[in-house]
Amino acid sequence: MTLLLRLPTPNFRASLSGVPWGAQKFGIDSILLLGWSIAELLRPPAGKGCPMPSEATVQETRAAFSSTQEAYRSPKRCLAASFRKSRDRWKTKAQKRNKAIKALTIRVRDLEASRQHHREQAEQFHEKLLQTEQKFEQLQTEATELRTQRDALSREVEEKKSLRKLNARVVGSSACP
């Protein structure tokens, strides 16, 4: 991010190597490295009708910035690089986590659909099994009925055979004097 800024003090004019006052471009990292607070950067120019921040707000911002400066003893350029690397590592880690979450969400959705499909298929097979068992029981009862009929018919046949034999003996014994 690059900002076109009006520099807060004219002392920086010499260090800008001939760039006209107020026309220097700075990245937000370099602005923070120069030690300017955000409140100073965002303060509107005096006399333009914009309300100025209260002195208390400016003092609070400077105090917070100076306490930050006291907390870190490393050079600001090293801190900025370290913070940038940390942010990049965090972003990479978060992106990997989000990809994993999305992949797992898709997998769960697919597994739920698959499970539902298999549940419906199992219910259909169970219904078919019940119908087949009923048909099997019906066929078994028919088979037992047919066996009893066969047994009854075979007894009748045996009785008729025995009656024929008896009739043949009776007829054969009465025909010979």
Higher pLDDT, 61 or 113: 113
Amino acid of residue 82: S
pLDDT at 139: 97
**How far is the CA of 63 from the CAs of 51, 68, 70, 83, in angstroms?**
22, 8, 10, 21
More confident residue, 48 or 70: 70
DSSP assigned state of 72: -
Residue 73 phi, psi dihedral angles, 5° rounding: -100, -10
Residue 26 has pLDDT above 90, yes or no: no
The pLDDT score that the predictor gives to residue 56 is 74
Q: Is pLDDT larger for residue 160 or for residue 101? A: 101
Q: In the predicted model, what is the mean pLDDT of residues 58-73?
A: 68
Contact 44, 67 (CB under 8 A): no
Give pLDDT, residue 6.
Answer: 46
**Cβ pair 24, 16 in contact under 8 A:** yes
The rounded Cα 149 to chain-centroid distance in angstroms is 66
pLDDT one-digit tens code per residue, 113-155 = 999 999 999 999 999 999 999 999 999 999 999 999 999 999 9
User: CA–CA separation, 28 vs 56, rounded Å?
Assistant: 24
User: What would the mean pLDDT of 86-95 be, rounded to a whole number?
Assistant: 96
